[in-house]
Amino acid sequence: MDTDTVQRVERELALLLRRANAAAPRMARHVHPDLEPAAYPIVARIEQVPGVRASELADHIGVGRGTMSRQLARLDELGLIERSTDPDDSRGQLIQLTPAGADRLARSRKARREFFERALQEWTGSDLERLAEQLARLNSSLDGARRTLE
């Protein structure tokens, strides 16, 4: 493996992550003016997996259960999620977005998609397809490497 190339990938990813982190407050405000940026991925995951348990969310996002519990309490206060008793385990709760939470997330995603469409308008369809494939591959590799550290 070429060390210079790996360093270049690391630099480019670091820049991408800094930009994403800088945009996170704006994206969170699209969902709700009082939503913390760190909660945006939680809302997005709940939308992807309706009826998810808090422990599964914590594992997926990579935070502790206490942190997840506090984030979910705040999302509940904001009216973005609702909880129901898990029929398979009465001690557990299943979490889903409220209709208002789903609507707010959809509007936020629309704004984000429009941003990407403007930013990537010069790219060809095959360039975008290759990028999507490589990003999926990168995410899978990073997830696998993260799991070996646990």
Mean pLDDT of the region 60-88: 93
Q: 0.85 cut: is pTM over it?
A: no
Residue 52 lies in a domain: yes
The H or E element that residue 113 is part of is helix 99-119
Taking 90 as the threshold, does the pLDDT of residue 88 lie above it? Answer: no
149/132: higher pLDDT: 132
What CATH number is attached to the domain comprising 105? 1.10.10.10
Q: What percent of the chain has pLDDT over 70?
A: 99
Closest by Cα among 113, 99, 116, 105 to 30: 105
Q: Is residue 94 part of a domain?
A: yes
For 36, counting Cβ atoms within 10 Å of its Cβ (0-12 exposed, 13-18 middle, 19+ buried), the class is: middle
Instruction: Report yes or no on 27 lying in a domain.
Output: yes
For 32-52, write each residue's pLDDT tens digit. 899 888 899 999 999 999 999
Cα–Cα distance for residue pair 106/102, rounded to 1 Å: 6
Q: Are 71 and 39 in contact (CB under 8 A)?
A: yes
Structural domain for 80, as ranges? 23-119
How many domains does one find in the chain?
1
The answer to whether residue 30 is domain-embedded is: yes
Residue keyed to tokens 């997840």? 68
pLDDT higher at 4 or 90: 4
